[in-house]
Chain A
């Protein structure tokens, strides 16, 4: 198993540009989520999905879109990048939404918006 994979590892964007951060897992997990990590603030939930075709907002969803067309993939789209979106982004997955299972994290994407 590759676990949770994320691409790209690093990205620099100009203000106003759009892009998609890719996330994939090969563990047949139902639950997938996106977090951002900023210095001194811990991780904050952006969006999550409890299964293919089902997504919902987390704590900080503004400026981001997600979709879940397959169990394996959960891309995060930045619609119009802003400097406030400079952060490290982590994708995670878990076997079930019930909260009884461990969350597995990808290696992260470091995004800089100039």
Chain B
């Protein structure tokens, strides 16, 4: 059974800092890995999708990496801003089944 873990559960950083969020999964047989952002009381917004054959994806200040063999992914946020404050979730997809981590709640202080 696939299990997805995100560490830390919560993170608080000052504005401008670069930061890394971690995601680990137990079964390396995945089709893709997706990072989402969730604002309080809202739905999920897709940030980056990494196919199983890819090593990383970039969008603006965000960079996500994938190491299938070690069951790890990281989301790198450069020059963090207060508007980045949200919960970040990773999810792995395989065979019609998507498994989510519990998320990392990020607070960026002005």
Contact = CB atoms under 8 A, between A and B. Distances in A.
B106 interface: no
A74 interface: no
Interface residues of B, number: 25
Classify the secondary structure of B's interface with A: strand
A29 to B, nearest CB: 13
Contacts of B32: 99-100
A105 B45 CA distance: 7
A108 B97 contact: no
Contacts, number: 60
Nearest to A91: B43
Interface of A: 31, 33, 35, 40-45, 48, 50, 56, 58-59, 90, 92, 97-108
A100 B51 contact: yes
A105 B43 contact: yes
Given A102-B46, A103-B34, A107-B43, A97 B96 contact: yes
B4 interface: yes
Given A90-B43, A105-B44, 15 more contacts: A31-B96, A33-B98, A43-B91, A45-B97, A45-B98, A45-B99, A99-B31, A99-B95, A100-B31, A101-B49, A102-B34, A102-B46, A105-B46, A107-B43, A108-B42
22 contacts: A31-B96, A33-B98, A35-B100, A42-B102, A43-B44, A43-B89, A44-B100, A45-B97, A45-B99, A48-B96, A56-B96, A58-B97, A98-B31, A99-B31, A99-B93, A101-B49, A102-B46, A103-B34, A103-B93, A105-B36, A107-B43, A108-B42
